[in-house]
Structures are given as structure tokens and as C-alpha cells.
């Protein structure tokens, strides 16, 4: 057992190297980002904002900077009022240096088709969003969101099959996947054995009862083992990075 001692400041370059996706990917690599309170809550008053910190925001933004695509469930996209990923000088420079597209698209998962064509996810974006849905969503809605500019993917019958969803992203050359939740989508990815890395910020806060935890919904057949890849600490917040353990692959 080791006691974590205060260490040197980690600059932007070191952070980028720490959180880099594996090189020469030939299959999707799924990183999932979450923030939770010390007592396990994923929300305060229905949002994740009350749990975050400047350091957590930095790691969250880095997740977007290094990814080919940002994957998110409709519940989160609607609750957190998602728009397309924004252009920033740092993001553009970093992505150009890493040989990535200027802005990663957002891929939103909605089995029922609950994202309206007027959503800022579809209208307030500089790159076309990807809408991943199931065969059970209304055909007319699919046409409306496609007409509004979305790339619509049907991946599954009743629900979205997360494996098929990742294959559709891979077909578009999008292998570095940064999933920003939420809990329902995360539970499905865990159950399907598709989570490669979890970036979890633990906030120094007791949120109390009533909030959802970071995985919610479909139970998994068996727990997935993780190994701790890095720990950063800032102002009482812990930024943990876990990799799927070799024996769980
Ligand atoms: N603490 C954090 O870091 C964090 C991160 C993200 C979200 N959150 C919070 O979590 C809450 C949202 O939770 P949530 O569980 O609703 O989030 P979610 O997983 O983003 O959204 C759930 C919805 O996404 C769609 N979905 C996800 N997986 C699907 C699948 N396999 N097949 C078909 N549809 C699928 C469904 O949409 P349809 O109903 O349209 O079919 C489902 O109702 C918000 O309060 C948000 O603030 C917290």
C-alpha cells in the first residue's frame, strides 16, 4: 500500500500524454468520463455540474480533445443541454498536432427517438452529429433529424446494441471514443464488456440519498475488473483513471 503524497504540478503536455489513446488502434477504444460525489452520487439537483471542479473540467475537456467522437446518451444530452463540441484555440491546435479532425462529432444514443430535430445538439454544431437509434424509433422522426443534418444510424431492434453502435462509428473511422455517460448508457457498455477506460473524478462532497449512481439500468452478468492507471489530486478532488484489467478482456 502507498500513501499518495503531494507531487509536482502536471502541465498540459504531461496531462495529454497521460490520457493519450493507445496508438495504432484497429478497433474501438472506449473511454468513459464521470464525476461522482464521495458517497457515490452522479448528480446534485439532477445535474453533474455541482460535482465538478476546474481540474475535473480540464480532464473532461481533454477527453473531447483527444477523441474521434464523443458518445452520449439522450438523457444526458437533454439534461445537460448538449450542443456540438465548441472550437477553442487550444483544442484546434492540439487536434491538428495529433492529426485529428478539427472538431469531434457528438454521437447521441436514443432508442426511442427522444432528441428533437430542433435540439441544439443538431442545430448548434459545426460538424454533423451522429444519431444512433434502434429500429423501434419512429421512421418519420429519423427522417426529420436526418433532414436537419444528422447522420442517422440504426443499430439494434428494440434498444441500441452498443456493439453495433461502436461498429458503425468504426465504419466512419471513429475509433477513439470518449463516452460522457450517462448512467444508462454506461450500464449497457459495461454489460456488453465494451469499456476500456474509466476516468472518474471523485468530488469531496456528500450528496446524500436520492441521486443516481454512475451506472444504472441493465445489470451486468459479472463485474469487470479494473486496474488503476493514474491518480491526480487537486483541491480535494481525485481524478482516477482505470483501465480494464487484462483478465477482463
Ligand atoms: N456525474 C456525471 O459525470 C454524469 C455524466 C453524465 C450524466 N449524468 C447525469 O445522469 C442523468 C441522466 O441519466 P440517464 O441514465 O438518463 O443518462 P443517459 O444514459 O445519457 O440517457 C439514457 C437514455 O439514453 C438512451 N439510451 C442509452 N443507452 C441506450 C441503449 N442501449 N439503447 C437505447 N437507448 C439508449 C435512451 O434514450 P431514449 O429514451 O431516447 O431511448 C435512455 O433513456 C442526468 O441527470 C445527467 O446530469 C451525470
Q: What percent of the chain has pLDDT over 70?
A: 100
Among 81, 160, 151, 85, CA closest to 119: 81
Rounded Cα distance between 94 and 98, Å, is 6
What was the pLDDT predicted at 133?
98
CA of 47 to the centre of ligand 1 (A): 12
In this structure, are residues 172 and 149 in contact, taking their beta carbons and an 8 Å threshold? no
CA distance 25 to 40: 33
pLDDT digits (tens, 9 = 90+) for 145-169: 999 999 999 999 999 999 999 999 9
Q: Given this model, what pLDDT does residue 102 score?
A: 96
Contact assessment for residue 197 and residue 242, using Cβ atoms and an 8 Å cutoff? yes
Q: How far apart are the first and last CA of the chain?
A: 26
108 neighbors 125 (Cβ within 8 angstroms): no
User: pTM for the whole thing?
Assistant: 0.98
| Residue 15 predicted with pLDDT over 80 | yes
| pLDDT of the residue at 202 | 98
Poorest-confidence range of 4-8, 65-69, 119-123? 4-8
Q: Residues lining ligand 1, CB < 6 A?
A: 34-36, 42-43, 46-48, 51, 72-76, 79-80, 109-112, 114, 134, 159-160, 162, 180-185, 188, 212, 216
* Contact call for residues 193 and 163 (beta carbons, < 8 A): no
Rounded average pLDDT over 208-218: 95
Amino acid at each position: 500500500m502507498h500513501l499518495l503524497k503531494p507531487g509536482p504540478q502536471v502541465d498540459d503536455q504531461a496531462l495529454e500524454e497521460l490520457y493519450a489513446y493507445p496508438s495504432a488502434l484497429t478497433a474501438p477504444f472506449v473511454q468513459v468520463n464521470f464525476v461522482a460525489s464521495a458517497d457515490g452520487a452522479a448528480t446534485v439537483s439532477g445535474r453533474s455540474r455541482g460535482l465538478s471542479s476546474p481540474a475535473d473540467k480540464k480532464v473532461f475537456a481533454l477527453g473531447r480533445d483527444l477523441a474521434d467522437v464523443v458518445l452520449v446518451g439522450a438523457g444526458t444530452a437533454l439534461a445537460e443541454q448538449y450542443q456540438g463540441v465548441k472550437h477553442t484555440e487550444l483544442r484546434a491546435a492540439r487536434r491538428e498536432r495529433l492529426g485529428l479532425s478539427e472538431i469531434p462529432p457528438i454521437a447521441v444514443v436514443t432508442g426511442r427517438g427522444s432528441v428533437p430535430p430542433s435540439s441544439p445538439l443538431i442545430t448548434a454544431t459545426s460538424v454533423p452529429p451522429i444519431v444512433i437509434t434502434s429500429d423501434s424509433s419512429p421512421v418519420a422522426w429519423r427522417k426529420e433529424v436526418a433532414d436537419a443534418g444528422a447522420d442517422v444510424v440504426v443499430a439494434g431492434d428494440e434498444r441500441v446494441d452498443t456493439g453495433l453502435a461502436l461498429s458503425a462509428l468504426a465504419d466512419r473511422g471513429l475509433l477513439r471514443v470518449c463516452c460522457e455517460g450517462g448512467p444508462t448508457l454506461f450500464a449497457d457498455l459495461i454489460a456488453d464488456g465494451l469499456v476500456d477506460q474509466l476516468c472518474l473524478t471523485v468530488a469531496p462532497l456528500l450528496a446524500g440519498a436520492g441521486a443516481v449512481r454512475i451506472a444504472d439500468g441493465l445489470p451486468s452478468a459479472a463485474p469487470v475488473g479494473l486496474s488503476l492507471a493514474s491518480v491526480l489530486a487537486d483541491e480535494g478532488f481525485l481524478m482516477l483513471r482505470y483501465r480494464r484489467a487484462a483478465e477482463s478482456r
